[in-house]
Structure 1
Amino acid sequence: MEQSGFQIKNEIKKLLAIIKSLDKKVIYIFISIALLQTFSFYFTSRRFFRFNFFQYFQSDSNVFLIEYLYWFIGDFFSYFIFPLLIVRFLIKERIRDYGISFGDYKAGIKITVIFLVIMLPLVWIASSLPEFNKTYPHLTSAKYSWKVFLLFETGMLIYMFSWEFIWRGFMLFGLKEKFGYYSVLIQMIPFLILHNGKPAPETFGAIIAGLALGILALRTNSILYCVLTHMSVMFSIDLISVLRFKADDYGVGINSLINIIKTIL
């Protein structure tokens, strides 16, 4: 009687041999991303704050601002400090090799300016849509107070820096050695998935944005221009949305632009 070709002991040996042959750095990157994203969802998210800390601040008129700042600062650790420590002490590579440098600043500044020239008219048009008006800024109270608006945007900048580092820094540059430019496609996927639930134009736009920002990071060897570009777009969306709200003008023509400028003045 022939024995079955499947034996658990042999299968385990084969699996262990395969695991040992894998690139350890790539494993560290993928596993770290999985753990850090999960940690963020369960412990540094607005949801976690809402269930565990909201009750202690609910009498504060700025409770929702506090909730957002908890998220922004929490993810500064989840998406920047923790992966930074992984690079330094586990992977044992230089931090600047993960995009924390000025890189090719001449190309970075030029590309950023070109990108913004293209994006700002699109933001202007998109901000006239009812779906965008209801969504931005995410913190509703930022529409009524410039102080709250500036605090919120400062927190957003901290978050955006961390967000760009985890995808365009840690993941992109961490996988570049193994996958080359395919790493741009790899980092775009989780970036897109985390946009699900946002307005459809923004979610579909995240595909293009994820690819463009990945290419920008590799071209300049830095995440700083990704942060500048991404934050500039987000800030302009929030600012224009607030100005439209204050002016109660949601047109896209020159008269609407003039009317909104008068609101600033």
Structure 2
Amino acid sequence: MIDRLRGEWQELRASVAGLSPNARRAAIVLIAATLLVLVHLQVGSRRFYRFTLDNPLGFEEAAFGAWAWWFGTQGIFGFVVPAAILLLAFRWTPRQAGLGLGDWKLALGITALYLPLVVIGTWILTDGTGFQEQYPHYLPARDDWGIFLTYEALFLFYWIGWEYLWRGFVLFGTAPAIGAPLAIVVQTVPFAILHAQKPPAEAYLSVLGGLALGALVWRCRSFWIAVPIHAAQMLILDWWATMRHRTGAEGIGLEALAQALGGT
């Protein structure tokens, strides 16, 4: 039995040794991404902040501090650490790591075309109680514009970490080994799974959104394009939900829109 196990071990080592450098790097990227998500869900969680660390950031409202902690740790585990792996451990250039500007003209053009659709789509979505009960995630932000703006600014760092982990680290880290089309699919899978607890419409749309964002990022050769698209999407969603809360606007027609905008 021992000889058989030794033989299996040697065969496994030979298989690993036979992997190409790109394949080994892709394996490291996928394992690292998995570990970073697990660490963030545990150490970066709002519950860990409030009940284990006891509000170390010193915010007057511990609940707000918990959201700041969640956003900040996502930025660190999703952007800072993965970028360091690609730039320092792999010795990739910023362009290879998806950190360059890429085709920024195309990116700006697509963003300009997409944002009006987001404004209309989020206006319609926030008419449902499922969205109004979840957004903004820190509900007191709906009643204080100062808190709302601070919350959204912190949220931006979260989006940089969230987008880079999938559309930067995993996409660019695996594409040399498995090709861009499959890498786009690979980064979509965990991205969509992490939307499982969202409202059904958002959860299912995350599959399409993951594929579309992955393809767009690869075409532009820069993950940065995904940040304003996703961040603006959430900011506008939060804003519409807040305006509906503050004004009581219901429905999606012009009368409801005028009522919501009248509350600014």
TM range (shorter): over 0.9
RMSD over equivalenced CA pairs, Å: 1.7
The corresponding residue for 1:192 is 192
Contact 2:55 2:62 (8 Å CA) reproduced: no
Q: Give the CA deviation at 1:55.
A: 6.4
CA gap of 1:218–1:13, structure 2 versus 1, over 3 A, is same
Q: In structure 1, what is the Cα distance between the partners aligned to 2:17 and 2:155?
A: 41
| SS of the residue 2:249 aligns to | coil
Counterparts of 1:221-260 in structure 2, within 5 Å, are 221-260=221-260
Report the Cα distance in structure 2 between the residues aligned to 1:101 and 1:150, rounded to whole angstroms.
28
- Choose from 9, 18, 22 the match for 2:15: 18
Q: Where in structure 2 are there 5+ consecutive unaligned residues? A: none
Q: How big is the shift at 1:120? A: 2.4
TM alignment of 1:1-265, pairs within 5 A:
7-22=4-19, 23-54=23-54, 61-180=60-179, 181-264=181-264
Q: 1:214 to 1:55 in 2, by over 3 A?
A: closer
Which secondary structure does the structure 2 equivalent of 1:226 belong to?
helix
Distance in 2 separating the partners of 1:102 and 1:28 = 25
Q: Give the secondary structure class of the aligned counterpart of 2:95.
A: helix
Deviates more, 1:123-132 or 1:109-118: 109-118
- Work out whether residues 54 and 67 of structure 1, in 8 Å CA contact, stay in contact via their aligned partners in 2: no
Letter in 1 for 2:243: L
Q: Deviations over 1:207-237 (max 9, x none)?
A: 0110111011001111111001001110000
CA deviation profile, 1:119-168 (whole Å, cap 9, x unmatched): 32221111000111101110011011001101110011000011101100
Segments of structure 1 that go 5 or more residues without pairing to the other structure are none
Larger radius of gyration: 1
Determine the C-alpha separation between the residues in 1 that align with 2:29 and 2:254.
Answer: 49
What is the Cα deviation at residue 174 of structure 1? Answer: 0.8
Alpha-carbon shift at residue 113 of structure 1 (Å) = 2.1
SS across alignment from 1:252: coil
User: Distance in 1 between the 2:175 and 2:64 partners?
Assistant: 37
Equivalent-residue separation in structure 2 for 1:261 and 1:44 (angstroms)? 36
Q: Residue 44 of structure 1: SS of its match in structure 2?
A: coil
Q: Aligned partners of 2:33, 2:210: CA distance in 1, in Å? A: 16
